[in-house]
Amino acid sequence: MSIPHSPNQRSNPAGTLPPDDPLREELHNEVHARPSAHIRLPALIVFVAVLNDGVSREEECEHLRRLPGQEGITPEQLRGNFQRLRFGEHTLKWERHTEFTRYSLVQALPEGAGLGSSDPSLLHALATPPGWLRDIPGRTVAAIQLVMLQADLPGPEAEAQARLMAQAQHWFGGRTVLASQLGGGHSWAVTDFRLPPSGFERILVIAPPGTSNARAGRISQRLLELETYRLMALRGLPVAKALGPMLAQSETQLAGITAQLESKATSEQELLDQLVSLAARVERATAESTYRFAATRAYDTLVAQRIAELREKPIPGTQTIGEFMQRRLSPAMATVAASAQRLASLSERISRASALLRTRVDIVTETQNQQLLEKLTRGQAMQLHLQTTVEGLSIAAISYYVVSLLLYVAKGAKAAGLPLQPEVAVGALIPLVLWAVWRTTRRIHARLGSTADPGH
């Protein structure tokens, strides 16, 4: 299908190329659609991802206007699915995806929240207006407080690494944590994957002095995307669990229908009704879950990519983030994949059972047609026999009338003076009369047969 040229289509000013395809510039700039932020350390990133089903861009635009100095933002500025807003010393990044919208607030780290503190309070110094986060349109799927600090990182000595891990664990209030060295050892990421009463997960990044703003932005983006995609991938797990009883019941029912097909104890109409009901139930489940299962596979792939991009190195005595996530995520993804496979397999088996039933119905129909044909053949034979009998009687009747007429003629001739005996003369003509009537009947049949069959 050809795409019509846009009236605003950019032409080559140098005249060295044909006119641009209408989508060229849009597709070319897609690689720059969601650039990483530049973050000056130390910093606090408050991240919220909400499901945007039923939420329009106009509603999101109206909410963004509540930020200081953003009263003039328009929905047209949000058509590109990405917008970075600056107010004061703070930055907010808005990103709209197919199923969710992300809001990332980058601001200075509050006082007393650095390394050495224990379970510091981070929400009291938010740069957004009161209640702004709470009123974001949509339903929360992920909320993270990412703290990025600068500190000298230890070398490969286990004792020095243990001291820094103790400080990081103290920052999390003494809870058990997971940690990884990112970028082959450039920086550390520590988290506990807990959901406290505040509703925000916490991630702590410790980077060495001199870390560039761009690198800090890439680290934050990978960690935030990793957790968001993990949660979005897991949305297929409740669907898979809910399908389990229905799949088990449907598989049992299909096995029963197949057994009835084999035994031929149930009528075809009853089997057909059962199969139609089962097929409708499975197709409805397929329609309701196909997108969710496909999205789960896509998000799981993105999680694996983000883990690979972290280029983790283990810290002695601590499980890495990627290892923990894969061990917890893999069983869920296997459950989703198994449910999707069971659903597809069940649909195929129902199709095969329907084909078997259709074959059985065809065989029964063919048998009935054969019996009907045999009945018609016997009826035609009886009709032919009856027709032959009737023809014989007809010949006898016609011959009787002809002989009677001849007898009257002979009697009239005798009365006229001819010397003959009517009874003797007519009796001698009876064989000839019979043959003449029979011959005439055969000719009539021959003429009717040639008229019915124009090929002769």
- Whether residue 274 sits in one domain with residue 169: no
Residue 194 lies in a domain: yes
pTM over 0.85: no
Query: Which residues is 242 bridged to in the sheet?
Result: none
Residues 242 and 365 in one domain: yes
For residue 99, give the nearest of 61, 50, 144 by alpha carbon. 50
Shared domain check, 348 and 203: no
Give pLDDT, residue 3: 41
Q: What confidence tens digit (pLDDT) does each residue in 166-221 have? A: 999 999 999 999 999 999 889 999 999 899 988 999 999 999 999 999 999 999 99
Does residue 182 belong to any structural domain of this protein?
Answer: yes
Domain membership of residue 15 (yes or no) is: no
Q: Where is pLDDT greater, at 271 or 212? A: 212
Range of the domain at 431: 373-445
Helix (H) or strand (E) holding 107: strand 100-108
Q: From the centroid of its chain, how far is CA 242?
A: 17
Mean pLDDT confidence for 354-383: 78
283 and 413 in a common domain: no
- Tell which of 370, 387, 403 closes a domain: 370
pLDDT recorded at residue 12: 55
Q: Residue 271 — pLDDT band, cuts 50, 70, 90?
A: confident
Is 442 a residue whose pLDDT tops 90? no
The answer on 361 and 249 residing in a single domain is yes
Chain centroid to Cα 221, Å, comes to 30
If asked whether residues 436 and 346 sit together in one domain, one would say: no
**How high is the pLDDT of residue 454?**
55
Tell me if 187 is assigned to some domain: yes
Is residue 223 a contact partner of residue 203, using CB atoms and an 8 Å limit?
Answer: yes
Q: What is the Cα–Cα distance from 115 to 148, expressed in whole angstroms?
A: 10
Cβ atoms of 65 and 135 within 8 Å: the answer is no
- How far apart CA 64 and CA 410 sit, in angstroms, is 128
Residue 428 confidence class, pLDDT cut points 50, 70, 90: confident
Length of the chain: 456
Report yes or no on 289 lying in a domain.
yes
In this predicted structure, the answer to whether residue 304 has a pLDDT above a threshold of 70 is: yes
pLDDT in tens, 80-98: 888 999 988 899 999 999 9
Q: Is residue 48 part of a domain?
A: yes
Residues 198 and 293 in one domain: no
Q: According to the model, what pLDDT value does residue 221 have?
A: 94
Asked if the structure places residue 285 within a domain, the reply is yes
Pick the last residue of a domain from 143, 177, 212.
212
Q: Which of 157, 177, 212 is the last residue of a domain?
A: 212
- What six digits make up the tokens of 61? 């635009």
384 in the same domain as 342: no
Give Cα separations from 364 to 173, 178, 369, 372 (angstroms). Answer: 76, 68, 9, 12
* Same domain (yes/no): 46, 132: yes
| Overall domain count for the chain | 3
Same domain, 264 and 253: yes
* Residues 122 and 134 reside in one and the same domain: yes
pLDDT at 80: 82
Segment (H or E) for 47: strand 43-51
Start-to-end Cα distance in the chain: 59
Predicted confidence (pLDDT) at residue 452 exceeds the cutoff of 60? no
- Helix H or strand E encompassing 311: none
Query: Does residue 451 lie within any of the structural domains?
Result: no
Predicted local confidence at residue 1, as pLDDT = 40
Q: How many CB atoms lie within 10 A of CB 122?
A: 18
Collapse the DSSP code of 48 into the 3-class scheme (helix H, G, I; strand E, B; otherwise coil) and give the result: strand
The 3 state secondary structure assigned to 148-209 is EEECCCCCCCHHHHHHHHHHHHHHCCCCCCEEEEECCCCEEEEECCCCCCCCCEEEEEEECC
- Residue 434 and residue 344 in one domain: no
Structure tokens at 240: 């898979």
Residue type (1 letter), 52: N
Residue 132 has pLDDT above 60, yes or no: yes
